[in-house]
Structure 1
């Protein structure tokens, strides 16, 4: 699982590449609304693969003090107040924390010696409109002290604001501890005087809470760190801060962490500079669209044989053309992607004046290079269509986890693959393929060797880097000859 500021660095969210964003999406500069909308839209597109934890700035009273309210009212002069009301509601529904693989607790701030995950699991979090407005049961002196603290907590609020009367004092304290607390080296749990809310918690508190809940690690954010991250409490607490240049350019690095079950966390640092800033919005949108159509074209080429059969079935006069409706129906029937094919058609195929589709143009800008000209197209398509599944089978066959499989294991792998997907590949083809992809002729094949024998090539595409050029040089000349029939 990845905690990251930008999916462009790690790929889009998916079942195998989920994301957690750990709060404080707003009050972080003049583009907070744009950042928040990107996150919310991504959540709608990937509801099971992207997770948004609430931070202490997902609070309308904090927004009054730190600028997000002003940003909204400036950008949306007509509907600004309505937008703020909607966001106030959205904040209340954000999860307070995330637990990964029953081992790692992810919360924005920290914990206290009284943290009770069972209480937090059952709490109606949507009742917490603002952590800065304690329940009425807390005496007024404490409330006033809280509002006058150094954190700059505002005593004013939008007209509909009211204290968290629907939560008990214990529930309120649980949430404020998780959103506002910070770790320290000193043992125990004591008031967080710098923030005016939450606590400072020591390594003994961390061990107590983790052991009580059978957890191994706490990952939190909330504090800027010079290197973008910090590890403390004997490796049990990780602070992760993704915003570089928090105070000014060059003040700190940003970082994100990549987690995989049973492996050591990987940290990735970066520093945004004026020279590395993103292109204008219209250029980014154009690049994103090109990337999406490229992926779609690759999906089409992986089912080329089936698509051509479907097209020809409706091409009664063998003209090479079918109606747009027939093309769209065939695409959906074969690919099963539930996409608006009519709207996308202008980007994928040639359409004549009569709105008929030249269906072979579906494959005009992309083809798959293959090791030998004699290798059947069906084998190449099968390989590319199921390459992620093939990786799973590869790992199963690699029983000693050496990263290599023998030629006999390679044949066994394909037999399992054929049986699993009910596709028939001749043994002679498998043996020929094994000999070709064993580049160094050591009698073993690693997964990179296997996949490097096959490339999806887009017409007019230029190498993106020296690395891409170097990878191309690794291929023997015989492997660089594309089959024009593909």
Structure 2
């Protein structure tokens, strides 16, 4: 009897333990699902804002075209046209001689490269970069110059064949993330004659090690020119680099020779191939294709005439049979396939993105794919992060989510006036409150981000009462803009909204790269900018702020300081 009773108790305990385990497992699955939902919602915010930024870039491109037309129509203004819009004939200089005159001091302890490069040289370079060493400017220029010589010999579309003995790995955007590049090499092996790679553009910008990424890729190109393939992306572009960080990185690392590097880099960009075609079946191209893509057109284009994705060439380049004449515009490499003429059939489209932690630490994994002989893709994912590995899943999601809401808050604060006006349309009696659904509709009308505003509302609006939103309080905990007292509200929001575009325009106006522009130059460019973007801000208001920032009263403006005065400041680090 006793034995039977004991067995019965043990069975009941076992059943309870099993039920408890099942409950815990179910709870944990629900917990992880909720966190994953929050992470995906944050990624949705990042992706929508990034897409909106890309549309802003197209607006900037249209602005440059508008400027060209303005100066053409007003020939009296031709003398004031920035050099980028009216390039002077370049005197051919011996670049090799110029580079050879740059001395490498004995105090330099980084890698010393000898050309032609060998595999051992690239390994030495990689080891140096792992130790955070900076490659000397002379070697940077030599690598760029040698890479340009090779790229000039390549066609627009590189045709390659897959073989049983040689594997082929395709990598997407790296964006200056050196750890990701090294992790790919660790998992997949270094490039070689038997381990071929296609890097599909966007090697630079955003990340902090764009120069190192570029040097590694170009160095491998020099050693294995028939096995390493580099396509041009929309960030292989000197104007994009001004906006997204690579220009700043170069000038910080190579102050004395930074201008030389930027000039040569601009040339190298234009010679990068547009795409790679594998076995006449797989087209690798940055930015995707359209159903009317024609490889014949792509292969015949003069790619080196596209100096920037934001600046159309000034000379006829492509015959357009739709209109029966030459078109002076070449489309950006990231959009080339979207503008072509005849239908080209594709069975499947795959997007490969190789920069992990792209938006924030822990936000996403990177990936690359390998093609076998029958062109069947195999996918590999990874995440390069020592910081996030030490944090809990909840902490990692919090980091991503808070970062997403910060940039969303910045976008809302830069359009505060427009948002208030939109809210007031749903509040004819001026009660200060509107329904949650009206708030969501008004926010979407202004921001055009296609986000689930109803679910985001509690994070963005301080008070929700009986299904209504007190919309004037919706900005209470959002970021604020640090601005001079003389600045008007509309101008503050405009400068925050267009600060990236204005930085690029300033660098173009600043002909001597002194960091300063005259008040007259600033006023003329501001007039054009406001005219094209249909911005209603009185010139006197802008002048008032500009003069207040000209502390030494020399009639010149340090535009970086000018924009710094309009930085967005967050009230709290953990929440809006």
Q: TM-score, normalised by structure 1?
A: 0.43
Q: TM-score, normalised by structure 2?
A: 0.37
Question: Going by fraction, where is helix more abundant, 1 or 2?
Answer: 2
